[in-house]
Amino acid sequence: MAPEPEQLSSLSNPLATVDQLSTSSSQLDGVPADLEGSLRFAGAKLTQAAGILLRLPQEIIAQAIVIFYRFYLGSEGGSFRINAVKDVSAASLYMTAKISFLPQSTRSVLNVYAYLLSPTSPLRQPSEGITGKEKPDAESYYLSEGSYHSARATLLQTESILLRSISFITQVTLPHHLALTYLQTLGVLPPSPTTKSSALAARTLAHLNTALFSPQLLYLTHQPPHLAVSAIYLAAREVGVKLPSMEWWEVFDVDRETLGFLVVGLGSCEGWIEGENEKWTEISCPLTLDELEEEIRRRDVENG
């Protein structure tokens, strides 16, 4: 990824190169491109759910998701057939929280993941099978002392592999606060917010959170100012807020071509997410190495 750490500013992130986006270690190991996209999405969902259960703020969760994506990037990155989704997700969240103001213990993190990976977890059940009326079976996600020490060793080992893979670049600058500042600069978010200005701010942040699950890896291909401006532009059109008639995005160093690409990308995220959720209604997306191998074998049999 580029640029080097010393070249990064407080408003920029290391971005993926063309080569890293075109070829991944997982594809070289025989993971189909569509399955790779599903695995990324499942890992991001798992990280999001774990962060919520740990009561972490969205800022930390979002940073962990970006770190998760970085790990599997390029031909020299991690492979889904070697580094399980569940392990990298847990390591990303644990490491990101550790360097934040809300560090989490290994036991807390592993207890949450034990639940999310259990058969009673909503993430592991078909959509139509979730009624919310059945009491979860606590034994299915109980982490014994022996299992805990084994999982802890895996967590710390994966954290070390993760850090080496991303060259110890843990900086993740998010566009959320920047977007709110831009809204104030544009004069559409007054000190005493109106109903419409509040709706605009909420919709802008919603687009930025949804973009975390984008198949186009928007957080790895564009800088925070670009994402913030595009989310504002799209949200303003949806809410019906009139922005300055001039090409205001150029004030924030965003050109029209980049704006157009990101607006389309942001707008298509929700549809893609719905499609992914429908794809895995009968079975859950593989989160462990054994489940991934079983899914690849199933596809091989179906394809003859």
Tokens of 205: 């942040």
- pLDDT for 135: 63
Reply yes or no on whether the pLDDT at 286 is more than 60: yes
Of 39-48, 95-104, 123-132, 275-284, where does mean pLDDT reach its minimum? 123-132
Phi and psi of 101, rounded to 5°?
-90, 0
- Residue 191's CB: how many other CB atoms inside 10 A? 5
Looking at residue 183, its amino acid is L
- pLDDT for 5: 46
Longest C-alpha distance within the chain, in Å? Answer: 64
- pLDDT for 120: 84
Q: What is the mean pLDDT of residues 113-127?
A: 83
- pLDDT for 6: 47
Reply yes or no on whether the pLDDT at 279 is more than 60: yes
Phi and psi of 16, rounded to 5°?
-70, 145
3-state SS of 150-188?
A: HHHHHHHHHHHHHHHHCCCCCCCCCCHHHHHHHHHHCCC
Mean pLDDT estimate for the chain: 92
* More confident position, 128 or 68: 68
Reply yes or no on whether the pLDDT at 33 is more than 80: yes
- Residue 272's CB: how many other CB atoms inside 10 A? 17
pLDDT digits (tens, 9 = 90+) for 195-216: 999 999 999 999 999 999 999 9
How many Å apart are CA 210 and CA 44, to the nearest integer? 11
- pLDDT for 101: 95
- pLDDT for 129: 47
Asked if residue 2 lies in contact with residue 14, where contact means CB atoms within 8 angstroms, the answer is yes
How many Å apart are CA 223 and CA 32, to the nearest integer? 28
Length of the chain: 304
How many Å apart are CA 22 and CA 75, to the nearest integer? 9
Asked if residue 189 lies in contact with residue 183, where contact means CB atoms within 8 angstroms, the answer is yes
Tokens of 228: 């913030």
Reply yes or no on whether the pLDDT at 177 is more than 80: yes
Tokens 């004030």 locate to 251
Q: What is the mean pLDDT of residues 27-37?
A: 96
**Residues above pLDDT 90, as percent of the chain:** 83
Reply yes or no on whether the pLDDT at 283 is more than 90: no
pLDDT bracket for residue 247 (50, 70, 90) = very high
- pLDDT for 127: 52
pTM higher than the cut 0.75: yes
Asked if residue 112 lies in contact with residue 90, where contact means CB atoms within 8 angstroms, the answer is no
